[in-house]
Amino acid sequence: MEQNPQKDDRGQIDSADLHIGPEYAVAERDVAELLTGRVVSGSSLWRDAWRRLLKNKLAVFGMVVVILVVLGSLIGPTVIQRTTGYAYDAIPKDASLLKSFPPFRGPDGRFSFAHPMGTDSAGRDILARVLSGGQISLMVALIATLVSLIIGVSYGAIAGYAGGRLDELMMRIVDVLYSLPYVIIVIVLLALLPAKTPTAQLAQLFFALGAVSWLTMARIVRGQIMSLKNQEFVLAARATGVSTPKIIFRHLVPNALGPVIVYATLTIPTVMLSEAFLSFLGLGVRSPRVSWGSLAAEGAQNLAVYPWQLIFPGLTMALMLFSLNFVGDGLRDALDPQARRD
């Protein structure tokens, strides 16, 4: 009845065929605890997943870069302003700084630490601009991801659990929204509600990106919930009188959290890219605020003469996007160790 691990021709068990589910995986530390007689405390899937994530070098590299960029964006602009006096939006009166050639070279060709990424056409420090643009880019990405988590997860979970006609209706709405390109939504929004302040403009950007970012999440969660809802523990929970919302959000959603986390981490770079794209087209963040997209747009205008104006914002963004994707892929492998093997 019970299937033995597959044996190869010589009748030996190939260790690669021995798949052990995450729930049965025993970490070395647990064994050590067992041997030394110490009580094994609730070792969860998350702890094992975290260990697997730390073994993935690319993911660790990604996490380090993400943390550095996030920290840099959060405190960098203030630090630069305090130490050098350059602010991202301050145009210096000193015209000699105007065209510095990075890295570490002033316009006179001598070594200078003043502007490691150079300045833009108006003489503003690009490092300060990149870091403060990071604030906006990260904020847009985080808010859109948060929207996708809150709306997408609840929407998908409800549709998946309810099933039948309600599910049908809810998912068709998703399909309709899916078919609208978000660029059009943004353009329509801008046309209908002309933003008077840069802040209002930013809010529109959040809204537009949030409106589309939850769709895939809803689909993923719905699929997960549909496969989970017929498991016996759900019936058992119903049999103890647990109400439907509690079953969905306390019993089912935590079971679907793995794919949700993975998709959320992969949503962040996607949204960042969308924001950059919109800003590049001039539909997103506008002056005096900056984002990586709007910096790239500015830089692209002067590409032939001052290439660093595009290279540095672009490099920073590319590095961040790579790193986030590495983290997302690493998380996926860590949370689903069986899928990793070919």
Positions in the binding site for other proteins (CB under 8 A): 23-24, 39-45, 164, 231-233, 235-243, 250-251, 254-255, 257
Of 78 and 244, nearer to other proteins (C-beta) is 244
Longest distance between any two alpha carbons in the chain, whole Å: 83
111 phi, psi to nearest 5 deg = -65, 135
Of 46 and 75, nearer to other proteins (C-beta) is 46
Measured CA to CA, the distance from residue 226 to residue 156 in angstroms comes to 10
Please say whether the dihedral angle defined by the alpha carbons of residues 236, 237, 242 and 244, taken in this order, is positive or negative.
negative
Amino acid identity for residue 259 in this structure: P
Amino acid identity for residue 332 in this structure: R
Of 81 and 255, nearer to other proteins (C-beta) is 255
CB atoms within 10 A of CB 93: 7
Contact predicate 241/110, CB 8 Å: no
Q: How far is the CB of 231 from other proteins (least distance, A)?
A: 6
Of 227 and 243, nearer to other proteins (C-beta) is 243
Instruction: Compute CA distances 304 → 1, 26, 311, 321, whole Å.
Output: 71, 58, 11, 25
Of 30 and 89, nearer to other proteins (C-beta) is 30
Smallest CA-to-CA distance from 302 within 293, 291, 311, 315 is with 311
Q: How far is the CB of 3 from other proteins (least distance, A)?
A: 16
Of 127 and 149, nearer to other proteins (C-beta) is 149
Q: How far is the CB of 165 from other proteins (least distance, A)?
A: 10
Tell me the Cα Rg of the chain.
25
Measured CA to CA, the distance from residue 279 to residue 301 in angstroms comes to 14
Of 44 and 301, nearer to other proteins (C-beta) is 44
* Residue 48 structure tokens: 């094992």
Q: How far is the CB of 39 from other proteins (least distance, A)?
A: 6
Measured CA to CA, the distance from residue 312 to residue 299 in angstroms comes to 9
Q: How far is the CB of 214 from other proteins (least distance, A)?
A: 23
Of 242 and 321, nearer to other proteins (C-beta) is 242
Q: How far is the CB of 240 from other proteins (least distance, A)?
A: 3
Of 83 and 240, nearer to other proteins (C-beta) is 240
Measured CA to CA, the distance from residue 289 to residue 206 in angstroms comes to 15
Q: How far is the CB of 159 from other proteins (least distance, A)?
A: 16
CB atoms within 10 A of CB 181: 10
Q: How far is the CB of 164 from other proteins (least distance, A)?
A: 7
Contact predicate 236/282, CB 8 Å: no
Burial track 260-278 (b if 16+ CB lie within 10 A, e otherwise): bbbbbbbbbbbbbbbbbeb
Q: How far is the CB of 242 from other proteins (least distance, A)?
A: 7
Q: What angle do CA 256, 261, 266 make, to 5 degrees?
A: 130
Helix axes 257-280, 292-301, angle to 10 degrees: 30
